[in-house]
A and B are shown apart, each in its own frame.
Chain A
Amino acid sequence: MKKLLILSTALTAAAFAASAQEVTVMSWGGAYTQSQVEAYHKPFSAETGIKVVSVDADNPATPIKAMVEAGNVTIDVADVEYADAIRLCDEGLLEVIDPAILPAAPDGTPAMDDFLPGAVTDCAVTSIVFSTIFAYDTTKFPEGPTTIADFFDLEKFPGKRGMRKGAKANLEMALMADGVPAAEVYGILATPEGVDRAFAMLDKIKAETIWWEAGAQPPQLLADGEVAMTTAYNGRIFAAAAAEGKPFKTVWDGQVYEYDLFVIPKGAPNKDAALQFIAYSTDTQRLADQAKWISYGPGRKSSAPLVGLYQDGKTEMGPYMPTAAENLTNALPSSYEFWVDRDTELNEKFNAWLLK
């Protein structure tokens, strides 16, 4: 009897300890957060008993500095862009992640060889590859635009444009629309003349452009008829078209793709659970699962063959991935080296340009 009592007490205590554990993950909101909840959070909680709390921000990288400096870190994991991951890591605002915690691929390939090149850094682990593309409303343009130059051509395709309020990706797309081959974009953008050239291209559509800030806005702008075409994160457009049946079409020409990574802010309250979460979420199967919910490419090579159908059970996801061969004919990998350095300068230029 006494034994039973002790056992039951111990069990209750263990159950209590497990249920008390939780990990807070900050992401980008909308369909993207939804895909992470389905592919990572739910199975993680089911398997480990650790509760996952999901919070959203326009850009999860931005609250991290404030939290760490104030000594009041309330999140354990954040989903950030590459340049931000490098910058925050250099400034000592992130925990270092030991790559040894990452599980190997099912066929035994070590994690470091399985991830795409550069996808694991000192402080960050890639989950997906996403892309900034432009999309249009097929009811407005039945014979739709096909190249990035068309986006900047108001005569051929009249109507409002939507673009992200910031320099990144916009300047690259402007140069590609001006005929610069993808491989030369950053070389040209590093010169003052190149920056002027990009802004001159943006000047063409400036009067007709609405600037968005949150990733969930562009599909909304398209749906409201506020814009005829807009730049957007590719997964958002896919989600709106596939899940809600919106007449949106993605143009892959001139896409700018990059990694999205998980990081742990310095002083995160549940660091161990956070490490466990990252290791779990970035394993081969989980990354492949996420593609079931949104059209972002997995960060591991071994996940690619496992990518199957969309959650509706009939849409083949392969062609909607930024990394699909036919989408890469004129595509630009975003350069974090460039943006880590020039982000402040070009964004100030961009803001000054907006005011003119």
Chain B
Amino acid sequence: MADVTMDAPAARPELLRTADGMPLKAALAAASRRARIRAFLLVLPLLAFILITFVVPIGQMLSRSMINDQFSASMPAVGQWFADNPNAAPDEAAFAALASDLAGAAEARTIGEVGTRINYDVPGTRSLFTSTGRKAKTLAPPYRDALLAIDKDWDRPDLWATMRAASTPATTAFYQAALDRKLTPEGKYERADAGSRIYVTLFIRTFILSVVITGLCLLLGYPIAHLLAVLPLRHASLLMILVLLPFWTSLLVRTTSWMVLLQGQGVINNVLVSLGIIGDDGRLAMMYNQTGTIIAMTHILLPFMILPLYSVMKTIPPSYARAARSLGASSWTTFRRIYLPQTAPGIGAGGILVFILAVGYYITPALVGGADGTLISNQIAFHMQKSLNWSLAAALASMLLAAVLILYWAYDRLVGIDNMKLG
């Protein structure tokens, strides 16, 4: 549209020109292009930083959760046999391929990787691969009998189903595992037995605990933020320092301070016992359980709730509430109909900030959570650091990311993300 209106005067014989004879339109375009390039160059470092530290790692994580070549890279002949014989039971040719791959993998010292990959799905088979690998060079046809002579487990249908599933790098196996599902010998996935279901429960617990912590932060933070907003500046800044001081203290220090306070022989229990409120044998268990996780995390995340709330409340003129009161509203109605709706952007921002931080929290639940206060992130850490099953860790992390994005989307639809005010 703009072009049309600009074109109309251009049709006239007298063209607007700058002092050096350039058409004004072209001069303007050149100037704004330079400004745009300069602006782009200014944000370029940030863009590169985000790309390198954010997009690339997340992309790598996603690809790791879906692509795993631990098995397929070292076992090409078996992979070929699976591709040529879909749905076939292993025959002599399959065992021959297996024998040659095992020998090759043992030679290349990758047999452990191969066994580890299969061991994820069929526990107890890792050493089947490594021990057979050591003898694989001496194998002679018929290979089926030779392999079964080493270990009769080589005939297990679930083992072959898993090898078939692992023979292509692209796989959903880790997402299935992350949903507590396992592979049957027929090659289908079904729910794992009750004794080994763990992740779905943990996801649910993580979300429930995060909601509880967010709710507690709101309950505790709302009055403080209000007080900060209405107090005279002199007192408000003192209070603000009290809010910010723990915020500047190391997370570990704060968590361990809570350990000192909450433990069985800790400060709180000792005070309660010495006051005679509880007996020495009735000490409260406030740590190494969910209570500990909720208390410590609420405290640590509280500033993230207070600051956005405060910044919103600061902008609400007190005259609105006074007007409502003068028009006959009770104090409760004034709060509910006038004040609360105006603070909604702050509640939304604080809530979503605290919730997202809580969902991914790691160090505090690890230290004070004990057995039933740990979250899904601790399980991800377990697979990253201890079991070294990075693909499963990536699948769990991707699911967590997806869940947060869905929540974010739902929040945008219900409340509107434009309504959020972070400060």
Chain A contact residues, CB within 8 Å of chain B: 59, 62-63, 65-66, 87, 89-92, 160, 166, 206, 209-211, 224-226, 337, 340-345, 347-349, 351-355
Q: Count of chain B residues with Cβ under 8 Å from any Cβ of A?
A: 38
A315 to B356 Cα, complex, angstroms: 55
A209 to B116 Cα, complex, angstroms: 31
Q: Which residues of A contact B386 (CB under 8 A)?
A: 59, 62, 166, 347
A189 to chain B, nearest CB (A): 11
B381 to chain A, nearest CB (A): 10
Q: Which residues of B contact A209 (CB under 8 A)?
A: 371
- The chain B residue with its CB closest to the CB of A206 is B371
| Per-residue A-contact encoding for B253-282, CB less than 8 Å = 1, 0 else | 000000000011100000000000000000
Identify which of residues 116-130 in chain B touch chain A, using a CB-to-CB cut-off of 8 Å: 116, 119-120, 123-127, 130
A91 to B106 Cα, complex, angstroms: 10
Asked if residues A226 and B126 are in contact (CB atoms below 8 Å), the reply is: no
- The chain B residue with its CB closest to the CB of A351 is B198
- The chain B residue with its CB closest to the CB of A165 is B371
Central interface residue in B116, B127, B384, by most chain A CB within 10 Å: B127
A348 partner, pick from B115, B116, B196, B385, beta carbons under 8 A: B196
- The chain A residue with its CB closest to the CB of B198 is A352
Identify whether the interface residues of A are mostly helix, strand, loop, or mixed: helix
Central interface residue in A63, A89, A226, A349, by most chain B CB within 10 Å: A226
Asked if residues B265 and A344 are in contact (CB atoms below 8 Å), the reply is: no
Q: Which residues of B contact A354 (CB under 8 A)?
A: 371-372
User: Is B299 an interface position by the 8 A CB rule?
Assistant: no
Asked if residues B370 and A352 are in contact (CB atoms below 8 Å), the reply is: no
B196 partner, pick from A92, A342, A352, beta carbons under 8 A: A352
Number of A-B contacts (CB under 8 A): 86
Q: Which residues of A contact B196 (CB under 8 A)?
A: 348-349, 352
Known: A352-B196, A352-B197. A342 touches B124 (CB 8 A): yes
Known: A337-B127, A352-B195. A224 touches B265 (CB 8 A): yes
B382 partner, pick from A341, A343, A351, beta carbons under 8 A: A351
A261 to B111 Cα, complex, angstroms: 22
Known: A62-B386, A62-B388, A337-B127. A160 touches B264 (CB 8 A): yes
Central interface residue in A65, A226, A337, A344, by most chain B CB within 10 Å: A344
A200 to chain B, nearest CB (A): 12
Asked if residues A340 and B198 are in contact (CB atoms below 8 Å), the reply is: no
- The chain B residue with its CB closest to the CB of A58 is B385
Q: Which residues of A contact B388 (CB under 8 A)?
A: 62, 65
Asked if residues A210 and B195 are in contact (CB atoms below 8 Å), the reply is: no
